[in-house]
A and B are shown apart, each in its own frame.
Chain A
Amino acid sequence: MSWLLDRPADRAEILGLRPELAAAHARLVDALWDGPVPAETLELCRLRMAQLLAAGVALVERSPQATLSPDRVAALPRWANDGAFTDDEKACLAFTELFVVAHHDITDEQAAAVRHAHGEAGLVALTTALSVWENQHRFDIALGGS
C-alpha cells in the first residue's frame, strides 16, 4: 500500500506524481546500461544490492538489458565462493556489498580490482549505477511501492 496514493501503486505511478522527475529518472536508469561494465555484471550488482537492502520490489524485477540464469540469481548470496561468477564479476560484487553496508571501508585494492576489470570509466559507471539503484531501492521501500 502506497502512503501517497492510499492504494497499491508501483514505482512508475508514484514517480508519476512528479512527471518531469519521473522522465529524468527514467532517462538516467536507462543510461546506466550504456557504459563499459557488462549488463549481466550490472544486473548481478543491482540484485545483490536489493538483497542486502531487502528491497522486495527490486528483487523481483529483471532489467531487460541483461539475461541472468535462475541458477546464477539463486547463487548470488554465495557469490564469493561460487564458481558460477567470474573474477571480474566478483570484483564488482565485492565493491557493491561494501558500497551498501560500509562505503568508507572500500579499500584501494577493491576499487583497483574494478578498475582493472572495466577501466576507470567502468569504475565511475558502476559507482554511479550503485548510487542510482540504492536511491531507487530506498524510494520503493520508503514510499510503499509495489
Chain B
Amino acid sequence: MSLVSEGADFRGPLTASGFAEPSLATVGDYIALMKPRVMSLVVFTALVGLAVAPGSLHPLTAFTALLCIAVGAGAAGALNMWYDADIDAVMARTSRRPVPMGRVRPGEAFAFGLTLAGFAVVTLGLLVNWFAAALLAFTIFFYVVIYTVWLKRSTPQNIVIGGAAGAFPPMIGWAAVTGSLSFEPILLFLIIFFWTPPHFWALALYRADDYARAGIPMLPVVSGDATTRRQILFYTIVLVPLGVAPWMFGYSGALYGATAVATGIIMLGLGWQVLRERRPVERASRKLFAFSILYLFLLFAVLLVERGWGGLIVRLAT
C-alpha cells in the first residue's frame, strides 16, 4: 500500500506486549497539535470580520466568539495532524510534529480534535448565536473532510478549493455580530480565497521534492514548474483587484485603498519575477511566500484600524 493511500494508519509506539506505550505527551505537544501559528491568523481575520460588522457586541461575547473560533481552528489542526501523520512523517517541514515524533498517538490526536470541535461549536452556539456556530462547524468539516481527507491527496487543485476553509473566519466573525451574512464579509472571504494559491504554490515551488516524496499531488509535482509559475501569476492578477475592492465599494477609506494598491503592485511584481525564475533558483518564490503573509496582514490590519478600531474609538467617544 502506498503512503498516500494509508492516511491515518500511522501507529504510535507500542510496548513489547502490544499495548500502547504510556504517553509522554506534554501540554505543549497538545498545543502544537492545534497549529498555533495558523490559529493566530484565523483569530486575526475573524477579529477583523467581527470588528467591521455593523452593530455591537458585548466585549465578553466578542471574546467568547473569538475563543470559540480559535479553539475550532485548533480542533481542525489536530484532526489534520491525526489524518496526515503518515505523510507528515516523511516531509522535512512536518516530521517533527507530535504525532510523527511518537509523542502523541493518532487516536489521542483524533479524540482531542473531536472534543475541541464539539466544545467550540456548542459553546459558540449557546453563548453567541447558532448561525455562527453552524458556519464554524462547516469550516471544521470542510478543512478536515473535504481538504485533508479528500482533496489533499487526490488533486493538484487541493489548496485552491481547500483554501476556502482558511477564508471562512472573517465570515464567522461577521456572523457572530449580525447573525447573517452580506456582500462585505463575502468580499473578505474572496480576498483570502484568491490569496491562498499564490501563497502556498510559492512555498510548494521550493518544497516540491518534499511533497513528491510524500506523494502529495501539489501543482509543481503534477504539472511542473512552468505551469505553477503561470498559475501563481494568474491568481495574483485576480487577487490584487479583489484586495482593492473594499475601497472601491466604499467599505474602507483612502489609507486602505493606498495600502491595497501599493502592496498589490509589489505582489504583481513578485508574481512576475516568479514567472521568469527557473529552478534551482528560488529567491523570487521565497520572497513571494514571505511577502504574501505581510500583504494579507497589512490589508486586514488597515481595515481593522479604519473600520474596527476606528469605529470603536468613535463609539466610545460619543
Judge: A and B partners, yes or no.
Answer: no
Chain B residues engaging chain A, CB cutoff 8 angstroms: none
Chain A residues engaging chain B, CB cutoff 8 angstroms: none
